[in-house]
Amino acid sequence: MPVNYIHPDYEVIRNPDRCVACRACERQCANGVHEYLPDAGKLVCDDALCVNCHRCVTLCPTRALKIVRSGNTYKENVNWSGETINELYRQAGSGGVLLSGMGTPKPYPVYFDKILLNASQVTNPSIDPLREPMETKVFLGAKPRTVARGKDGRLQNNLPPQLSLSMPVMFSAMSYGSISYNAHESLARAAEALGVLYNTGEGGLHEDFYRYGKNTIVQVASGRFGVHPQYLNSGAAIEIKMGQGAKPGIGGHLPGAKIIGDISRTRMIPEGSDAISPAPHHDIYSIEDLRQLVYSLKEATDYRKPVIVKIAAVHNVAAIASGIARSGADVIAIDGFRGGTGAAPTRIRDNVGIPIELALAGVDKRLRDEGIRDNVSIVAGGSIRSSADIIKAAALGADCVYIGTAALLALGCHLCRSCHAGKCNWGIATQMPELVKRLNPDIGYMRLVNLLTAWRHEIKEMMGGMGINSIEALRGNRLMLRGVGLNEKELEILGIKHAGE
């Protein structure tokens, strides 16, 4: 066996005074970290296999386990960090592209954390959401330029199809295949219970979930997996996936090992074959081609479904969004570069794209400058972590947000960033039946409902503090925001003032 150059990043520490050798950790770890030695009557572990997912830590009945950062260090070097060295060793050993799961962990600026919210004092009253109605309902879709009236003079409904949401949050696209059946069921049921939408991702829609159609966005991505007329007509909206924040400019690859049983059937591809989504849509090489796909999908669904176009936040996102807003799309979803993924090449995840805050502010301003903001609604994603992020995104100009990672965390994800390995101990990003069954959809959906219910309470409290009792009065209301520690250029792009101004 060749020498492995890499010392494990983490150490599994077992407190022998607490461990009762019940072997729960051994059973729980799909990575095979823990091993029982019958002769010695104790458990040992191989740190090198540990992904730090905390499954064993959480389930250890005597709290005998913890995982700590390994103290082992290379000779200190600012330029060549330990991580950089390890990655290089790994590539020198494998000859392969580095893969990662979830959003970038790199210390790029998180602008949401440098923006502060306003509250009412004296000159206007704050509003108590416990005493007064506080509205979080939003509608997504294009707005016509003029009103229409019938012969009787009454207003006529000339609105294109709209999506109605009880609060401005949707679960973002995560395909069946990249996440498990139970994870999808949890998302679908939660969306239904909450009056919001979840998104199938690019893997088609399992036949069991057609019943949640009213709360489903069906996605059409470059691989066109599982796309057929019934699928398109089963959801509340159709999303064309042009890009993803975690990996702008590239496609996707679900290994053949995961294309089994229902997944193969749902995706309409043979078992065991790799599901490869091309980097571009091969029928969309330009904006006029996008327009054709938008209208093809509208034709296929009788103009009854809004069409969402999802793009990754890249440098010229504002111009791209402007083109999309004139392409017949009803909603633009922008995915920031901190967004999550089941698997992405590490270098792309960590180096391509721009933060959602800047992309959102730029797009909202551009569409207003061009007088076409009402042509589309804007959904911001990648990465929305809390109710405060939602309020800030709304005030920057978003109609709604997408959450992906936050929803998975609610289901038990511990952000070990190993989704691509397919051995998710929490039953989320895996297709191994014994792991999938660990995620109980009855509990999973309830935890998602709890999370968004809590967020809705917080959103109402913050809105009330600002004296706003309807979410549409917050949208694009940038005077409610102030920057801290941002330079003039950043403030200019975000369109906000600095705190104290």
Binding residues for another protein, per CB under 8 A?
120, 123-125, 127, 132-133, 135, 137, 139, 143-144, 146-147, 149, 154-155, 157, 159, 162, 368, 371, 373-374, 466-470, 472-480
Q: Which is nearer to another protein, 95 or 371 (CB)?
A: 371
Task: Report the side by side order of strands in the sheet with 331-335.
Answer: 169-171, 400-403, 377-381, 331-335, 307-312, 237-241, 216-220, 198-199
Q: Which is nearer to another protein, 30 or 471 (CB)?
A: 471
Number of neighbours of residue 179 by Cβ within 10 angstroms: 29
Q: Which is nearer to another protein, 75 or 145 (CB)?
A: 145
Q: Which is nearer to another protein, 144 or 278 (CB)?
A: 144
Beta-carbon contacts of residue 105 (< 8 Å; ≥ 6 apart): 417
The minimum distance between CB 480 and another protein, in angstroms, equals 7
The minimum distance between CB 148 and another protein, in angstroms, equals 10
Q: Which is nearer to another protein, 78 or 147 (CB)?
A: 147
Q: Which is nearer to another protein, 144 or 249 (CB)?
A: 144
How far apart are the C-alpha atoms of 239 and 257, rounded to whole Å? 27
How far apart are the C-alpha atoms of 325 and 368, rounded to whole Å? 11
Q: Which is nearer to another protein, 185 or 399 (CB)?
A: 399
The minimum distance between CB 349 and another protein, in angstroms, equals 34
The minimum distance between CB 326 and another protein, in angstroms, equals 15
| Residue 97 in tokens | 């592209």
Task: Name the residue among 411, 431, 412 with its Cα closest to residue 423.
Answer: 431
The minimum distance between CB 147 and another protein, in angstroms, equals 5
Q: CB–CB of 397/417 below 8 Å? A: no
- Residue 486 one-letter amino acid: L
Q: Tell me the backbone φ, ψ of residue 56, rounded to 5 degrees.
A: -70, -40
Q: CB–CB of 407/187 below 8 Å? A: yes
How far apart are the C-alpha atoms of 317 and 314, rounded to whole Å? 5
Element (H, E) at 43: strand 42-45
DSSP state of 483: E
Cis peptide bond N-terminal to 383, omega within 30: yes
| Residue 246 in tokens | 């975690």
The minimum distance between CB 394 and another protein, in angstroms, equals 9
Beta-carbon contacts of residue 94 (< 8 Å; ≥ 6 apart): none
The minimum distance between CB 318 and another protein, in angstroms, equals 15
Beta-carbon contacts of residue 444 (< 8 Å; ≥ 6 apart): 182, 183, 185, 186, 190, 410, 411, 412
Number of neighbours of residue 1 by Cβ within 10 angstroms: 3
Q: Which is nearer to another protein, 3 or 155 (CB)?
A: 155
Q: Which is nearer to another protein, 443 or 479 (CB)?
A: 479
Q: Which is nearer to another protein, 163 or 242 (CB)?
A: 163
How far apart are the C-alpha atoms of 281 and 241, rounded to whole Å? 9
The minimum distance between CB 464 and another protein, in angstroms, equals 10
The minimum distance between CB 164 and another protein, in angstroms, equals 9
Task: Name the residue among 221, 210, 215, 225 with its Cα closest to residue 266.
Answer: 225
- As a dihedral over the C-alpha atoms of residue 458, residue 461, residue 467, residue 468, rounded to 10 degrees, the angle is 40
Q: CB–CB of 254/352 below 8 Å? A: no
The minimum distance between CB 140 and another protein, in angstroms, equals 10
For 293-326, letters b (16+ CB in 10 Å) and e give bbeebbeebeeebbbbbbbbbbeebbebbbbbbe
The minimum distance between CB 154 and another protein, in angstroms, equals 7
Q: Which is nearer to another protein, 368 or 498 (CB)?
A: 368
Q: Which is nearer to another protein, 233 or 470 (CB)?
A: 470
